[in-house]
Amino acid sequence: MAVLDDFSGFEFEDLMEDVFRNLGYENVRQATKTADGGRDILMEEVVDGDSTSDCCRV
């Protein structure tokens, strides 16, 4: 998508944070900008009352 090509890396991370939040993930947040071990966005998914932690590299 041409529009996404114009985003900086940080703007894209902001967008993806909103996407995961809108998909129903909880506690969606960005990892620290340095030394994050490749993890950019951290989140939790709750299914049937059980919570699991996930991360996403963007």
Tokens 């894209």 identify what position? 12
Q: What are the tens digits of pLDDT across the range 11-38?
A: 888 898 899 999 988 889 888 766 555 5
Q: Which domain holds residue 49?
A: 2-56
Domain count, the chain: 1
CB atoms under 10 Å from CB of 43, counted, come to: 19
Whole-prediction pTM: 0.70
Cβ atoms 56, 43 nearer than 8 A:
yes
**CA 52, CA 9: separation in Å to the nearest integer?**
26
Looking at residue 38, its pLDDT comes to 58
Query: Which percentage of the chain shows pLDDT scores above 70?
Result: 76
**CA 28, CA 57: separation in Å to the nearest integer?**
13
Higher-confidence position of 12 and 53: 12
Looking at residue 2, its pLDDT comes to 78
